[in-house]
Amino acid sequence: MKRSWPSLLLALPLALVPACKDQHPPPAHAAARTVADSSNARAIMAPAGKDWTLPGGDYAMSRFSSLDEITTGNVGRLKVTSTFSTGVLHGHEGNPLVVNNMMYVVTPYPNILYAIDLTKPGGAVKWVYQPNPSDKSVGIACCDVVNRGATYANGRIYFNTLDAHTVAVDANSGKEIWKVAVGNIDIGETVTMAPIVVHNKVIVGNSGAELGVRGWIKALDAGNGKELWRAYSTGPDRDVLIGPAFKPFYQDQRGADLGTKTWSGEQWKLGGGTVWGWISYDPQLNLIYYGTANPGVWNPDMRPGDNKWSLTIFARDPDNGDARWAYQMTPHDAWDYDGVNENILADIQVDGRERKVLVHPDRNGFVYTLDRETGEVITAGKFVFTNWADSINRKTGRPAENPAFRTKAGVVTRGICPSATGGKDEPPSAFSPQTGWFYIPNTNDCMDYQGTEANYIAGTPYVGASVKMYAGPGGHRGGFNAWDAATGKAVWHIDENFPVWSGVLATAGGVVFYGTMDGWFKAVAAKDGHELWKFKVGSGIVGNPITYTGPDGKQYVAVYSGIGGWMGAVAFPDVSTDDPYTALGVAGAIPDIKQASAMGGTLYVFAL
């Protein structure tokens, strides 16, 4: 029998349903350095401009646009110019693309692709492509039936479907060029991430760690969809594509077959480490960067050891998949701190010299500034209230854990911060080369966590923890930071009532955009976080804003409205908030979201 994601979770026995600071950020609008003084960083490539062709705007995942018609002085005059209903009422993560006066929208399941002609008044649908994914994928998707968007290359739109297929569609006609299966829904594999295309290779990864799936990333031939290479996240070096070129910075990342030796028995075969987040690319170094998810199972006592290479940032050669370095952020994860969040590439001044860095705000509450050539930790600071670890040791790369907050089987560990949803989940941050700062959406939740027994049955939930989440210190459940990656400290901070589960857009007009789960689309000043404008949309925002130049030469800003995803699914009518353990634990954190937002599925477009 087909079951939706929320009903599948509700059917689990209570013991199997998990919740799936030492340093406070500065107060809202804390005094900031001047923009001129803080511009110690630069983009590594040209930012997005007239069009938005990649998930992050550019390969560096900067989510920065060079467009500057909309400024801090006039953004308050933004008005809705058009809307478009997708016809789907689930989590609208990701963002549209804009290419040559055409907008491309991918919906959550059933993953319909719309082409909208922007030269027509209000936009008009030019064509519709329906991939018709299997409805079996709905019953196994962990955390709503989301899709994080598409990418454009070679005159084609490439995107993934929930039932683990990758599709290439002609951008002009909507004709399917190829469609290939990349995973197996019968064992719990789905695909929700946005692909990118590098050197005529479509890079994709899988979801399903909560079903005992073994994570992988692979490259497909952009011309015909043929698999060219695949790198697993766990297993022997030959499967992980670790060879002579692999030179990690830290000692505990070195050694043969760590993808098996740091696991108990053959648990690595059910090891999670899926790749459902974002992929960045540095053309100068010819390396792609991505993070891997939680290990399977959530009960840490069932998998002694570091459990490599879960919760790891990898640098790989896109041509053959060979790993160049890896850095594991949370060894032997006991909190579900997936490492799939964005890796933003920039060149910044640190201690008087320019460094090629990768900036990664992690679920575990730390923002990591890594040398993207070597994987060395340059800085690592807390961006939300975090108590499971005190700091990150730069010499070893390992966290200095607080043993009071390590979880165990059969024991309820209380007051762990952040919760399993992390200091932030996948919604991507933005970087402005004008300020040199990174703009990070926050979640301020804590949790109680107990490891439980779990038995593996292919294609069914394989979790092994019971988790309850609730608001963190201060009572607000979200926030928004400007972050200085050179110092590892927040510059300014905004509190929000609900977790900020949208992505971020920074622009050359000095404006930063983000959305809230109760449906406010906001513009703030990049310099000091001062609120400049806001607009109430029809449903909570869990998507990522973009900006582009329309055929009339004006600058437009677009964002999806449609609550959902892991946290946002609490707003669905069939998800009860009577039990705080419901919906992988998030029901305890935001039970009031039902009164603040209903389901939706609308694209909003704004202009002056």
In 241-317, which ranges are E strands? 280-282, 287-291, 312-316
Q: How many CB atoms lie within 10 A of CB 287?
A: 22
pLDDT at 39: 58
Q: How many CB atoms lie within 10 A of CB 127?
A: 17
Question: SS3 for 514-531, per residue?
Answer: EECCCCEEEEEECCCCCE
**C-alpha dist (Å) from residue 425 to 380, 571, 581:** 18, 18, 19
pLDDT at 1: 29
What is d(CA 571, CA 598) in angstroms, rounded to the nearest whole number? 6
Cis peptide before 309 (omega within 30 of 0): yes
Tokens 């070096």 sit at which residue?
Answer: 237
Q: What is the CATH number of domain 5-607?
A: 2.140.10.10
pLDDT at 45: 86
Edge-to-edge, what's the strand order for the sheet holding 176-181?
151-153, 156-161, 165-170, 176-181
Strands 176-181 and 196-198: unpaired
Which position among 111, 206, 294, 341 bears the catalytic label?
294
Which position among 163, 239, 322, 336 bears the catalytic label?
336
**Using an 8 Å Cβ cutoff, are 583 and 569 in contact?**
yes
pLDDT at 602: 98
Cα-flanking dihedrals φ and ψ of residue 353, to 5°?
A: -135, 150
Residue type, 353: R
Tokens 């992505």 sit at which residue?
Answer: 503
* Low-confidence residues of the chain: pLDDT under 70: 1-39
Tokens 């110092």 sit at which residue?
Answer: 487
Residue 1 contacts by C-beta under 8 Å, 6 or more apart in sequence? none
Question: SS3 for 111-165, per residue?
Answer: CCEEEEECCCCCCEEEEEECCCCCCHHHHHCCCCCCCCCCEEECCEEEEEECCCE
For residue 497, indicate whether it is catalytic.
no
What is d(CA 461, CA 20) in angstroms, rounded to the nearest whole number? 11
For residue 574, indicate whether it is catalytic.
no
For residue 294, indicate whether it is catalytic.
yes
**Using an 8 Å Cβ cutoff, are 29 and 528 in contact?**
yes
Reference 531, options 29, 137, 14, 17; nearest CA is 29
Which position among 58, 144, 163, 210 bears the catalytic label?
210
> What is this structure's pTM?
0.94
pLDDT at 12: 33
Q: Mapping DSSP to helix (H, G, I), strand (E, B) and coil, where does residue 166 land?
A: strand
Express each pLDDT in 403-460 by its tens digit: 999 999 999 999 999 999 999 999 999 999 999 999 999 999 999 999 999 999 999 9
What is d(CA 454, CA 196) in angstroms, rounded to the nearest whole number? 35
